Amino acid sequence: MAIQAKLIETSKQINVGNAQLQIKVQEKKRSELTLKELEGFGTQANTLKAVGRMYAPQNHLMSLLRAHTPPSLSMISFLGEDIEFGKSLMDYCCFSVCRFIAQSPSELTAELTAKIQSSEAEAEMLRKNLDYLDKSKKEAENSLQELVVKNTKDLAVS
């Protein structure tokens, strides 16, 4: 039973590792695509870096927007602000507020390059871990098969 439990646990770890690897590969690809687009800008271009996101009801966002929101720090996206079916429905809708800070293209390039390298290193570590887990799983499967064969032989002799 211990071998079977180890096999199940190893399978779960492999599934988690595969999911983590997928995330790192996507993160790297997203950073590479952003870096590729950023290369087309000049060094004097105005660029923004997203630093957070929150969701809030429209009426709350409107009051915050009226009170104080420096345009250099926030971009508000009201999807459907002028929709004809009325404000009563809109009061229940939530909208995303993205916070941005100004950053030079060279700083963004450096951050993206570091993120690409970090993602690749973490993905490589995850691949090595998955290889180890695959070997461990195969060993557990072999041990379980040997145990079944041994028990079958023992029952046949009895």
pLDDT at 155 > cutoff 90 = no
Per-residue confidence (pLDDT) for residue 95, from 0 to 100: 53
Tens of pLDDT, residue by residue over 74-83, are 444 444 444 3
Q: Using CA atoms, how far apart are residues 38 and 70, in angstroms rounded to an integer?
A: 25
- The amino acid occupying position 62 is M
Handedness of CA 132, 138, 141, 143 (dihedral sign): negative
Supply the pTM of this predicted model: 0.65
CA 71 to chain centre: 29
Tens of pLDDT, residue by residue over 99-116, are 677 888 888 899 999 999
Q: Using CA atoms, how far apart are residues 84 and 1, in angstroms rounded to an integer?
A: 65
Beta strand spans in the chain (E): 47-57, 74-76, 94-103
